[in-house]
Amino acid sequence: MVNFEVLIDEDAQVFLDHLPEKTQVSVRSKLRLLEEDPFPGTGGNKELLKPTQKGLYRMHISRNYTAFYHIFPEEKTVRILWLGPIGQAHNLYGRFKE
């Protein structure tokens, strides 16, 4: 049962499309978990990044990648804003965190 539609912004899609095929399958599988439950607590390593601006989250995918995403509960939509290596993600936390 799918509860949320997962949409991927263009830059994140380009990054995903350039990964090796086996890695793409793994990352896509993890991103599909967001369809059933995008909120922290179950089904992956997810965290709310801006408590005062509800809707911005991050999810670690294996030990190599991170996705930043917004949840739009009214529309039942999750939008992947950024996807990339976990090391680069750490440099972006200041951009996303308060």
Q: What angle (nearest 5°) sits at the alpha carbon of residue 91, between those of residues 33 and 40?
A: 25
pLDDT in tens, 32-72: 999 998 988 766 688 888 665 666 899 999 889 999 999 99
Which pLDDT score, from 0 to 100, does residue 7 have?
97
Which pLDDT score, from 0 to 100, does residue 90 have?
67
Determine the structural domain holding residue 68 and report its residue range: 5-96
How many domains does the structure of the chain reveal?
1
CB 59 within 8 A of CB 30: yes
Has residue 93 got a pLDDT over 80?
Answer: no
The CATH number linked to 91 is 3.30.2310.20
